[in-house]
Amino acid sequence: MMRSPSTVTPRTWLVAPLAADVRRSIDRLAGSADVRQVAVMPDVHRSGDVCVGVAVATSGLVYPAAVGGDIGCGMAALRFDAAADILAAEATAIEILRGFRGAVPALKRRRADAEGGPDPERLSAAPLARAARRDGAWQLGTLGRGNHFLELQADQERCLWLMVHSGSRGIGRAIDAWHHRTAVPVDDGGLAALDATTAAGRAYLDDVAWAREWSRANRACIARAAAEILRAVCGATAEWGTLVDCDHNHVRAESHDGVDLLVHRKGALSARAGERGLVPGSMGTASFHTVGRGSAAALESSSHGAGRALPRGTAAERIDAGRLVREMHGVWFDARRAGQLRDEAPSAYKDIRAVMRAQRELTAVERELRPVLSYKAT
């Protein structure tokens, strides 16, 4: 593996100067072998060897760390034939939250259900196929923890929308761990890479594509379960023709200015010209439906959300349950779990409006939504 002749200069769209550790991480990535372009999104923050909120292009090497473990993690949005006002009553909100908690668990369903998921036999290794048949079946339709959520939102016409944020759960992390065993550091202490022209590199790319399919199926399963709860509680019907689904952790072959590249996105949304996307804020702030502008300088990418302003540990230390409840004013959620959700408080995230302003040349706002009810599994 040959080192790039010189470090590329990252292009940035920022809401504030980069922290020192974030700058070091980006510089390391930009100086890695075969890196042709780096684009830094306004929601960038440190997470592992490669920051969240970065898109990077190579010509032949694949860097699993520039995708992350939650391969295919993304968003889905769905409109209902009802006004958001149907959630005005506390009793209704409580019933919906109870329904979501029962139908969309954090980690494991009550019964295995692989319906709608891709065939595990397509995976590149027998241990991965076994994990997909076992864990994948039990986890399909589960939300996960951390920043994953199921939210009901009101658009500017007060129409009711659902938004789901979830990914590939345990099987995505198993795929990432498996291929890290064969990835090789390019330089002393450098990031580990795979050559896309080798069997190992092709296997990783195929497994990433599989995990993206599984993630889409997972979000669809969650959306169906949530739609059934809303139909039963409120009589609201899902308008499936409005469904938007996009993911922000992947690597795929793309052509940019006539050059074939491998574009990695870790916490970055594909934003090709005319491409619809979803950019959430936090539990208590606005989210946006977007249309990509196809910015070549940004590798046709945008932010995938607001991005963390505080690391989880710091947020949990600085934000108490009472502050979270105050910040969630006007949004239904299970306040009994406020102590467990401190690191997900709105103040733990960047200002989503500042993020959207910073990336005006990357993506256009199609629709703004405000949260009405937020469910996070704990």
Query: What residues are labeled active site?
Result: 304
Phi, psi of 37 (to 5 degrees): -160, 145
What's the token pair of residue 57? 């292009």
β-pair partners for 159: 83
Strands 74-83 and 159-166, sheet pairing: antiparallel
Cα 159 to Cα 80: distance, rounded to the nearest angstrom: 7
Cα 216 to Cα 198: distance, rounded to the nearest angstrom: 28
Contacts of 61 (CB under 8 A, 6+ apart): 1, 33, 34, 186, 193, 194, 195, 196, 262
DSSP, collapsed to helix, strand or coil, labels residue 249 as strand
What's the token pair of residue 150? 């199921």
What's the token pair of residue 141? 């339709």
DSSP, collapsed to helix, strand or coil, labels residue 83 as strand
Side-chain-facing half-sphere of 159: CA atoms under 13 Å: 16
Count other C-beta atoms under 10 Å from residue 46's C-beta: 20
DSSP, collapsed to helix, strand or coil, labels residue 5 as coil
β-pair partners for 369: 155, 287
Cα 247 to Cα 264: distance, rounded to the nearest angstrom: 12
3-state DSSP helix/strand/coil % of the chain, to nearest 5: 35, 30, 35
Give me the amino acid identity at 96.
I
